[in-house]
């Protein structure tokens, strides 16, 4: 990614972007994901271990590694969305958005007036994007993206209203929570056919409304499916899994030499 490359431009061009997903509070790992070839890395502050200080360090590391910077906020923490935008996040993802009111309040938190209510102090964001303060001011509302997560029956029922929010840039599907909600808690089935059908319908409606569509994927087959469905921001690969899988593989390599023992 060069200094004047913006995630918003890439996604609006229709070219899919794959983002790595970081939940471990280790900014260097987020940077390594960026250096490893991910076009974007998402810092997860909903289910991940990041606090504000470590998220700021991770955003800087991602920029240093040459990738785009995304952050998912905790449920309802719109104030944090604005702070993370100030610290250089190019895209904010908000979980459990279930109404037009939820979507509007979130989206307005990351847009400057008159489109929103974001307060002015983007000095770190300008630095990480390679812009002057004035350049950042002129492009901030179009370059800083807001994506509302669609992951409940309530959100599906309110989808058209959510997509009608002018300040909102798009939606991001959480298939795991969506599958739980659709089954009334009976099963976790993010990769199932019923879940996939609903995900495809969400993407179709988002694109038709002129919005961006993103989704969380658990394997490469689902990434392929997501591209075919019209999603442009696709998550694949979690740092926690990378570390866990490497530990398991390293231990298995020597099991025949020195069997693992637990006291």
Question: What DSSP letter does each residue of 186-208 carry, written as one string?
Answer: S---TTSHHHHHHHHHHHHHHHH
d(CA 183, CA 227): 25
Bridge pairing between strands 145-150 and 91-94: parallel
Alpha-carbon Rg for the chain, nearest whole angstrom, is: 19
Q: How far is CA 178 from CA 36, 38, 207, 226, in A?
A: 30, 26, 19, 15
Establish whether 236 is a catalytic residue.
no
User: By the 8 A CB rule, do 116 and 108 touch?
Assistant: yes
- Options 47, 197, 224, 252, the catalytic residue: 47
Q: How far is CA 26 from CA 22, 48, 62, 203, 204, in A?
A: 9, 11, 12, 33, 36
d(CA 155, CA 58): 30
d(CA 200, CA 32): 32
Tokens 């009608």 correspond to 164
What are the catalytic residues? 47
């Amino acid at each position: 990614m060069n200094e004047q490359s913006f995630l918003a431009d890439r996604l609006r061009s229709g070219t899919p972007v794959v983002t790595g997903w970081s939940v471990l509070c280790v900014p260097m790992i987020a940077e390594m994901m960026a250096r490893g070839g991910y076009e974007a890395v998402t810092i997860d502050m909903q289910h991940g271990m990041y606090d504000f200080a470590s998220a700021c360090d991770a955003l800087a590391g991602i920029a240093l590694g040459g990738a785009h910077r995304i952050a998912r906020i905790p449920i309802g923490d719109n104030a944090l969305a604005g702070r993370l935008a100030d610290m250089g996040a190019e895209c904010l993802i908000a979980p459990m958005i279930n109404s037009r009111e939820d979507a509007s309040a979130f989206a307005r938190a990351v847009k400057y007036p008159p489109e929103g209510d974001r307060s002015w102090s983007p000095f770190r964001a300008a630095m990480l994007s390679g812009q002057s303060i004035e350049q950042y001011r002129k492009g901030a509302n179009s370059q800083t993206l807001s994506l509302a997560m669609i992951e409940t029956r309530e959100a599906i029922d309110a989808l058209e209203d959510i997509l009608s929010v002018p300040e909102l840039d798009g939606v991001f599907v959480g298939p795991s929570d969506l599958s739980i909600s659709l089954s009334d808690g009976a099963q976790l089935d993010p990769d199932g056919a019923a879940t996939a059908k609903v995900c495809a319908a969400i993407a179709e409606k988002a694109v038709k409304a002129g919005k961006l569509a993103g989704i969380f994927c658990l394997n490469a087959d689902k990434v392929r499916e997501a591209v075919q469905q019209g999603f442009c921001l696709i998550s694949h690969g979690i740092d926690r899994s990378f570390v866990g899988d490497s530990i398991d593989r390293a231990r298995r390599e020597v099991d025949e030499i020195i069997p693992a023992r637990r006291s």
